[in-house]
Amino acid sequence: MYSYLELIIGFAFKVYQFMIIAYVLMSWVPQMRDTSIGQLLERFVEPYLAPFRRFIPPLGFIDISPIVALFALYFAQLGLMSLLKMIFL
């Protein structure tokens, strides 16, 4: 059971990581954020990125908060997987 749970959670984290990356890439073409997909991504990703943007100011024109957010998401995934491993094994 643990391996299935590990696959599902890993897949969910990977999908969310790709959503963040797509949202960041959409910022390079502002018209893309006005599409329905852009608005959907904004609804899912912006609440997660907002706290990082509050504490990490942009460096000129470069916003590094999504990079930090991706690292935090990765470490959260590792922590959750370790916790599940301790529970199920």
Place of tokens 């910022």: 27
Q: How does pLDDT run across 75-86, given as a tens digit for each residue?
A: 999 999 999 889
pLDDT of res. 52: 96
* HEC-encoded secondary structure of the chain: CHHHHHHHHHHHHHHHHHHHHHHHHHCCCHHHHHCHHHHHHHHHHHHHHHHHHHHCCCECCECCHHHHHHHHHHHHHHHHHHHHHHHHC
pLDDT at 10: 94
> pLDDT at position 16, please?
98
User: Tens digits of per-residue pLDDT, 7-66?
Assistant: 999 999 999 999 999 999 998 898 998 999 999 999 999 999 999 999 998 888 889 999
Residue 1 predicted with pLDDT over 70: no
